[in-house]
Structure formats: structure tokens, C-alpha cells
Structure 1
Amino acid sequence: MDLLQLYEWLDIKSILIFLCVFLLLSDYTRNKAPKNFPPGPWSLPIIGDLHHLDHSKIHLQFAEFAEKYGKIFSLRIFGPRIVVLNGYKLVKEVYTQQGDNLADRPTLPIFHDITGDKGLIVGNGYKWKHQRRFALSTLRNFGLGKKSLEPSISLECCFLNEAISNEQGRPFDPRLLLNNAVSNVICVLVFGNRFEYSDHDFQSLLKNINEAIYLEGGIWALLYNMAPWLMRRLPGPHKKIFALWKEVIDFVKEKVNSHRADYDPSCPRDYIDCFLAEMEKLENDTAAGFDVENLCVCTLDLFVAGTETTSTTLYWGLLYMMKYPEIQAKVQEEIDRVVGGSRQPSLSDKDNMPYTNAVIHEMQRIGNIIPLNLARATVEDTQIGKYSIPKGTMVTGSLTSVLFDESEWETPQSFNPGHFLDAEGNFRRRDAFLPFSLGKRVCPGEQLARVELFLFFSSLLQRFTFSSPAGVEPSLDFKLGATHCPHPYELCAVPR
């Protein structure tokens, strides 16, 4: 190596060393823990606390961190620090007493690149408040949470039962049928029509949603949020997330465009029609977000949120009925006694079916569909406990820590309908039952989900007995993405 080559090699080496030092200092400066910030594991540069975490069971590790660092701790996962709240009393106190200050969502690059700052889930501020108020008001007018929606759900129960009956007791995976049935309820409210279970295009769409939600909870999504400027240019599984959501968004856009072509503002058929009418009323208030792009994202949010969590809860529920046939038999005995076999279960039966109601609540509790909760962000500098939390910090109240709080539940790790029954066998409400979260960002579809779960579950168990295929032991193993759901399984549905 001559002198010139040596100088060139040293220059390249110096540049690389400089870049490494720059990146490390930049990461340290941007993500240094503020003064009086909640404690947490020792973080490494760039990757933060990734080396401490098993992403397949991170919701369970939160309990371990809480034991070590306290009920308020912090983590760094490829970027800014996240404050995690643990336990029912703490989560309730912070989310209710500081609700206004935790009304924002953090801006995460992967979601921003999919939907921008639009919609009901990740939107913030003035626009979000207008959109949430409008969505709740509109859906209530169409029967959300009311008895007027019951006939539509009961009809869908009939279609679902017929589809399951067609399996003739053979082993099958019920996931897509459950997705389709639950989705049809929100489809009627949002799009004005339902979809046949034989509609393979729609079933493919539901598969895309399931896969995208799973991938969004994975390591590639975390990498994207840490370095979006790099990940936008690199190939990888994260690209599939965008491809999957594009298909879903294109489907929604097609529905919106067909509505725009023939809607009558004096006779709205569904949420999209009502939104189009509101666009005309508020065309001068552009900040309220009543435009076509926001309509597409809001519709997408309602469609996805109205499908995924309820269908996954039912998917867990049928698995637990196979696992505990004695519980399934007690539910069926109550259905036979209260409803009989000549008519479908009705909401008016619910108060007379405490055991069935308790089982459904326990399905929601132990199913723990959104274990980490959806993160929120502080609107301004605030105090949580003895710690100072700067404006814009991500905060999440772990729903796992609430739904499995040992100080609130007698046997938190067991499937126990007794959690929701008193000594006389009457249904009892539990304060720590918060699968829909609480505060300003409580799930807007809570009332619809409660109605759907009761009618679908009781209708299914009225018609069928669910069991594992011969020689197969039901497994409660889960997979964790953006939601917590069972590994795919098959069951046999034998008509009663």
C-alpha cells in the first residue's frame, strides 16, 4: 500500500468512525431520559430495550418490568421512550383524571404513511373531536347499541349458523366465517349492504386485514418507526403491510365513489351517505375534516375496528368452549331453559341468562384482544405519580395488567365465569373489566360489540356443540401482532 492509498484508507475509516460517533451521539441526545422520568431497563444505543424483549410475549414481560421498576416504568424500542402504566387502579386514575391530557395519539411513521393524520383511530385535535362526535351520533341514529339493530344482527346469526351447518360436522377453521359475519353488521351500518360468505373477494379482503394487523405488531413495523427515511427505500416484509392496506383502502374508495354517484342527502342509507351530506353543510370548515380523503379513512377505521376485535373474541370463545366442555354444557342448559329451541336468543333474554353473560365477559377478559392498549400521547407536560412526563410522550395503560390484576380477580390466569357471578349465581359487574379501555379514547363501538357478542355466541351454542377434531387437544397458544389472538385451529360443529 503506497502513501496515497494509505491516506485514502484512513479517510474512509475516519468518515466511518465519524458517522458511527455521530449516530450514537444523535441517538443519545434525541432519546436521553428527561429529568425525573420513570425508570426502566438499561437501554442500548439505537435499538433501545430490544435486547430485553421477546416480542412474541411482550405483554407478559410488562408484568415482570412492573415488579422490578414499579407500576410506572419506561421502555425504549427503536426510538422514543414509552411510559407504561400497570394495574387497574393506576390506569383508571390516570385515564380518567388526566383524560384531556391523554386524548392524543402519538404520530408513528408507519400509520402516518398509510393514513396520514386522518381518521378516528390515529387522528388528533379539532378534526378528531369533530369526526368522533359525528361518527357516534350517526351510528346511534342507525341503531348502534340499540334494540333497533337487533334484527340485522339476528339475521346475520342465521346466515352464520347456516354456513357452519354446511360443514356437516367436519373439521374446519371458523375464523373467516366469524370475520365475515361480524363484519357484515358494520358493513350494513357503514356501506349499506352485507356480503355473502361465498364472496371470495370479500373473504380475501378480510384475510388481508388480519395479516396486516398481525404484521403491524411485528419487528419490521418497529424498524420502520425508528428509521422511516431508510425503511421507505428498503425491501422487506414491511412493504407487504402497505400493499395489504392499499387493497383494503381501494375497496373502501370504490364504495365511497359509488355512494357519491347516487346518494340522496334527504334520505341517507348509511354512514357514508351521512358523511357526504355533512361535507356539503361544513364545506367552509375545512379544519373539521369533512372531505373525501378523511371519509375513506374514517370508513376504513369503522370497518376494521368493527370487525377485528369482536370476531377475535368469538374465536377465543369457541376455543375455550372446546377446552372446557362442562362450561359449554352449562351455557347450553341455560339457553335451552330460557330461550328453548323454537326461536333465536334475543337481547331481552340477556338479564335471564347470567351464566351465559358471565362466560361472554370472561371470554373478553381472558382473550385480552388489545393487551398493550392503543398508545396515547401527552398533550402537554404533566405529572404521573411522582414522575414528570414531557409533552408528546407516548403513554399506554397495559390492559393485560388490568384484566389480570391479582388484586382485582380471584383467579386471573384461569378461565373462570365465576368472576362475573355472585354467591346466588346472579351476574355481577366488575370495575376492572376494561377490555374497551376508558377515558377520552374509549372504544366507540363498545355498545355494538356487547350486543354482537351476546347474540352471536348464544345463537351459536343454541344450535351447535363445538369440539376438537378426533385426537386433537385444544391449544391455548397465541400469536401476538397488533392484537392477541389464538393460533389457527379447527373445530367440529355438531348440530344439537
Structure 2
Amino acid sequence: MLYFLEDVSLLMSLVSCLLLFISCKHFWRKGNLPPGPTPLPILGNYLQLSKGDIVTSLLKLREKYGEVFMVYLGSRPVVVVTGYKAVKEVLVDRGDDFLGRGTVPSLTFLFKDYGVASTSDMEIWRALRRFSVSTMKSFGMGKRSLEDRVEEEARCLVAKLKKTKESLVDPQQYFGKAACNVVFAIMFGNRHDYDDTELLYVIDLVHKTLFLISSRWGQLNEMFPQVMRFIPGRHQNIFVFMKELFHFVEKRVEMNKKTLDKNNPRDYVDAFLIKMETENINPTTEFHMTNLLCSTMQIFFAGVETTGTTLIYALLLFMKYPDITAKVHNEIEKVIGRNRCPKIQDRSQMPFTDAVIHEIQRFIDLIPMGLPRKTTEDITYRGYSIPKHTNVFPMLSSVLKDPVCFPYPNEFNPKNFLDENGEFKKNDAFIPLSAGKRICLGESLVRIELFIFLTTILQNFDLKPSVTPEHLDITPDVSGLGNIPKLFTMAFIPR
């Protein structure tokens, strides 16, 4: 036994020395890279980013190193880009140079290089994105309009909330289901009753997964994935939950396969299955089962959590700022009234409500670091030489709260989107779901959902918090890949 322990100890020492050598060798070859804090072998810049709030840590480093700087997540170099002008260069002006998908270890362990959101192969990405955008626009191959689906779900949500009889409830239980049902309809062709156990199970998995990835445990996993994969901790549930979601998608795809009618496609999965069949003679086609499963899960995951979390945060902000909510109520009464459902075309006549919804997205800063990009070639950027396949963080938070672009960057204020006449004012720095060619696939869907869901709720209810507005905490519970609000309860009082 003693000899065995000595052998293990020697092996661990050799591995540590090898990692130290590799890390030091990598660091010594910095060349003309952007400035940044000096990394330690193996640990990288962990000491500068170890407080569980990587977003705040990165933005603080900007004060010392400027708009573009480099940090090391463990041994992985990452170029951090901040501020509207610099981020716009990366996402739009020079978008092709940064079009690759960066590494997110919590997700890529499952997806590898497959799926429309994860693949780094530009030709495969273009084909999958073109197909996905076209299919989602047609929304079930043209059977029903997207707006009709959202309106139907909003009516179901109102009916369910009225049954709560003004009691305090967790809004996540209702608004997460509404968002999930809209995505269900697009991806799988049907919605679920709010009491359906499968719907509850899936929503819970999606929310807990993003929460854990954004938590301190998840941030550690992003820095040291090779080590954390074998260390016990809450982050291990990320892998469990992701696999369970993947099995759910596999089951739903199999259900579609058994009932597929090639002449009558019902949803995204049907359209992909038909595309697979037409491409089956092409040995290099990107339309195969792995890309179907990964793309479906990626779109489904993003669609559920993006809208669901934004709606929950919106309720919190409406209760925190009752004066703003009262103005939205008045605009709804004036333009829509109470006898018909809100329509997306109403938005053009409701500048204050439109500004408030934009301000909600800006203020909550849902994806503060943006999804990471990767350079597609060796490039020169702002005088720095950045090698091919370098990870890049386009910090959306630094854009949405850029004082050059927004007069009230750190407070919730609809005037950020209103001109001196009270009319809605567009702002190019409004990029809550990124920008350029890799902007979120469901960005247009999110806009429709937020307007119809929120105006429908405020048309039908007054919102009552469980505490006084001044005691409502609107700071995120965790801030990492996503900003997730703290749990709260509230009551919906029929108007």
C-alpha cells in the first residue's frame, strides 16, 4: 500500500510539473497580445476573478488595462472587449474575423462542435443558421403566425393567473411555462397544459442549468474544466441536467419521426427530418441526427430561458417602480383598452411602453459577457496581434451601460429610449442579445413575446409585491453567463 501511495504521489508530481512547464511556455510566448494582469502557471488569473462575480471582476480590470485586454481562465487565453465602439467592431464591423464560436466548457462537453449555436465550422454554421432562421420564420411551415401563437399563450396565462385568486405565488411557475410553451410550439408543434408534469420538469431543468452555469461553481468550471470535471460539487449537476435535457429532446425527436408526414410538416423538428432525408445521398451533409438533436436543444434552451427570465425580471421592475408602471397602464388604456387583446402593431402607438420594455432588457443585462466568439484567422486588432482560434468575450454589459450611449446607464429609466418629445428613440447600443451575423436566432420572437405578454398582463392585472417596493431586491442572485434574479413572490390583482 505504501509503495502504491508513493507511486501516485510521484505521478501527481510529474503531472504538476508537466502542466507547469506547458503553462509557463505558453505564457512566455505572449508576443504582441493585448495587455492584462500577469497570469500564474495553471491558475491563470484566477486570483483576480475568484469572487464569484466574473462580470464585475472583468469590468474592474478595464479601468486599469483599457477597453481591450487579455485574461487567462486557467491556461485558456481570452481577449476581453468592452465599450460600444470596441464591441461593435468585433460583432459587426469586423464580424467575419470573430465569427467562430468561443469555448463554453459547461456546454461544449455535451455539444462538442455540433449544433447551430456551438459549431465553429463556418460552412456548417451558415447552412444550419440559414435553415433555422427560415424554418422559424415560417413557424410550423406557415400554418399559423408567430403572433397568433403568442397571443393564444398570453390568454392562457391570464386565465391561469386569475385562478390564483390574488394569493401570493412564485411567478416563475407561470411565466416560465408560458415562454416554454411558445418554444414548444415552434420546435415540437404543440403546447402543454400548465399542470403538465413534463412541462414543469423541463422548465425546472433549464432554469437550474443556467443558474448553476452562472454561479460561482459554474465559473470555476469555466476556468478549470479538465480538473473540475472530476471534483465533487454543485457544478456536477450541470452535466446531469444537460444530459437529462438532451434525453428529453431525443425522445421528442423520436416521437416526431414516428408520426412524420413529409407533405405536412408541423414544426422545426419535422422540417429538419425532411431536410435530412433529401440530403441523405450527400456523405458530407451537415443535416444529420447529431446536428438535429444539438440544434434543437440549443434553440429550445435559449428560447425558454431568455424570455422566461426577462419576463420575471420585468415583473420585479414593474413592482419596484410603480410610477412607471402606472404610465404603462395609462398608455394601455388609451391605445388598447380592455376589450381586445394587444397586437404587435399597437407598439408603434405606445412609445412609453416600448421604451420601458427596451429599458427592461437593457437594465437587466441578461447575458452580460455575451456568448464567447473565436477568431477565425490570425488577425491584427487595434494594434494587437491575436492568433487564430483565440477566445473573445464581447462584454455586452459594458455596451448596455456605456455612459456615452445612455444618459442614465446605471439606473432604470425609460428616458434612455425617449426623445425630448416623449417619442421612442432607437439606440444602436441596444444589443441585449448580441449583434451581427451571430445574433440570437430568436431575437425577433423575444421582441414579440415581451410586448404581448407584458401588455396583456398589465391590461388585466395590478401587480402586488409581498414586500414594499423599496424592499424589493433587483440585483441578480448570480451573475455569470446569465444574470438571474432572486426568487420572490407576488400577487396578481384583476383590474
Tell me the TM-score normalised to structure 1 length.
0.93
Match of 1:177 in 2: 174
Give 3-state SS (helix, strand or coil) of 2:174's partner: helix
Report the AA paired with residue 490 of structure 2.
L
Residue number among 190, 202, 216 corresponding to 2:187 in the alignment? 190
Measure the CA separation in 2 of the matches of 1:419 and 1:143. Answer: 37
Q: Which moved more, 1:150-159 or 1:18-27?
A: 18-27
Equivalent of residue 314 in structure 2, options 312, 317, 335:
317
Q: In the alignment, which residue of structure 1 is the partner of 2:271?
A: 274
Residue in structure 1 matching 2:400, options 397, 400, 403: 403
Partner amino acid, structure 2, of 1:492: A
- Looking at structure 2, the residues matched to 34 and 155 of structure 1 have their Cα atoms a distance apart, in angstroms, of 56
**One-letter amino acid of the counterpart of residue 57, structure 1:** D
| Higher mean C-alpha deviation, range 249-258 or range 359-368 | 249-258
Q: Is the 8 A contact 2:141 2:267 kept in 1?
A: no
Whether the 8 Å contact between 1:50 and 1:78 is mirrored in structure 2 is yes
1:291 equivalenced with 2:305 (yes/no): no
Do the aligned residues in 2 keep the contact of 1:465 with 1:495 (CA within 8 Å)? Answer: yes
* Secondary structure of 1:288's aligned partner: coil
Q: CA deviation at 1:81?
A: 1.0
CA distance in 2, matches of 1:314, 1:11: 56
Equivalent residue for 1:474? 472
SS of 2:276's partner is: helix
Q: Which amino acid aligns with 2:80?
A: V
* Alpha carbons 1:77, 1:222 under 8 Å: kept: no
In structure 2, what is the Cα distance between the partners aligned to 1:110 and 1:427?
A: 39
Equivalent residues of 1:71, 1:87 under 8 A apart:
yes
Q: How does 1:309-388 map to 2 (within 5 A)?
A: 309-388=306-385
Structure 2 vs 1, CA of residues 264 and 410 (structure 1 numbering), >3 Å: closer, same or farther? Answer: same
Alpha-carbon distance, 1:304 to partner = 0.9
The 5 A counterparts of 1:82-481 are 82-125=78-121, 126-142=123-139, 148-224=145-221, 228-470=225-467, 473-478=471-476, 479-481=478-480
Number of the residue aligned with 1:495: 494
Separation in 2, partners of 1:320, 1:80 = 37
Residue 476 of structure 1 aligns with an amino acid whose one-letter code is: I
Contact persistence 1:31–1:80 (CA under 8 A): no
Q: 5+ residue gaps in structure 2?
A: none
C-alpha change, 1:18 and 1:123, in structure 2 (3 Å) is closer
For 1:51-90, list aligned pairs within 5 A.
51-90=47-86
Call closer, same or farther: CA 1:386–1:170 in 2, change over 3 Å: same
Structure 2: distance between partners of 1:258 and 1:273: 10
Whole-angstrom distance in 2 between the partners of 1:427 and 1:38: 39
Letter of the 2:412 counterpart: F
- The Cα shift of 1:232 comes to 4.2
**Segment drifting more, 434-443 vs 469-478:** 469-478
When residues 323 and 267 of structure 1 are mapped into structure 2, their CA distance, relative to the original with a 3 A threshold, is same
Contact persistence 1:153–1:452 (CA under 8 A): yes
Secondary structure, counterpart of 1:151 in structure 2: helix
- Deviation of 1:94 after TM superposition, in Å, equals 2.6
- Code of the residue aligned with 2:406 in structure 1: it is W
SS at match of 1:250: helix
User: Cα gap change, 1:297/1:10 in structure 2, threshold over 3 Å: closer, same or farther?
Assistant: closer
| Preserved CA contact (<8 Å) 2:52 2:219 | no
TM-score relative to the length of structure 2: 0.93
What SS does the corresponding residue of 1:391 show, helix, strand or coil?
coil
| Kept in 1: contact 2:73–2:222 (CA 8 A) | no
Whole-Å separation in 2 of the counterparts to 1:102 and 1:145: 34
* Aligned counterparts of 2:11 and 2:408: Cα–Cα separation in 1: 59
CA-CA distance at 1:322 after TM superposition: 0.6
Alpha-carbon distance between aligned partners in 1 of 2:110 and 2:15, rounded to the nearest angstrom: 31
Q: Answer with 382-391 or 16-25: which moved more.
A: 16-25
Per the alignment, in what secondary structure is the counterpart of residue 369 of structure 1? coil
The equivalent residue for 1:27 is: 23
Kept in 2, the 8 Å contact 1:144–1:447? The answer is: no
Structure 2 SS opposite 1:492: strand
Task: State the alpha-carbon separation in 2 of the partners of residues 88 and 324 from structure 1.
Answer: 28
How far apart are residue 116 of structure 1 and its match?
2.1
Contact 1:366 1:415 in 2 (8 A): yes
2:79 maps to a residue whose letter is V
CA change 1:195–1:388 in 2 (3 A) is same
The whole-number CA distance in structure 1 between the counterparts of 2:258 and 2:353 is: 45
2-side partners of 1:26 and 1:162: how far apart? 61
1:376–1:395: 8 Å Cα contact kept in structure 2? Answer: yes
Give the deviation of 1:229 after TM superposition. Answer: 4.9
Secondary structure at the counterpart of residue 56 of structure 1: coil
Residue 143 of structure 1 deviates from its aligned partner by 7.4
Superposition map of 1:11-26 within 5 A:
19-26=15-22
- Give the distance between the partners of 2:247 and 2:163, measured in 1 at CA: 32
Change (3 A) 1:106 1:284: farther
* Alpha-carbon separation, structure 2, partners of 1:160 and 1:294: 33
Question: Which amino acid is 1:309 matched to?
Answer: T
Structure 1: how far apart are the matches of 2:466 and 2:160? Answer: 18
AA in 2 matched with 1:77: L
Residue 358 of structure 2: SS of its match in structure 1?
helix
- Per-residue deviation, residues 43-70 of structure 1 (Å, max 9, x unmatched): 2221111111244332223222111101
**Count of aligned residue pairs for this structure pair:** 491
Is the alpha carbon distance of 1:350 and 1:227 closer, same or farther for their aligned partners in structure 2, counting shifts above 3 Å?
A: closer
Equivalent residues of 1:94, 1:384 under 8 A apart: no
SS across alignment from 1:388: strand
CA RMSD in angstroms, aligned pairs only: 2.5
Change (3 A) 1:51 1:181: same
Contact 1:110–1:224 (CA<8 Å) still a contact in 2?
yes
Question: How many Å apart are 1:20 and its aligned residue?
Answer: 4.1
Larger Rg: 1
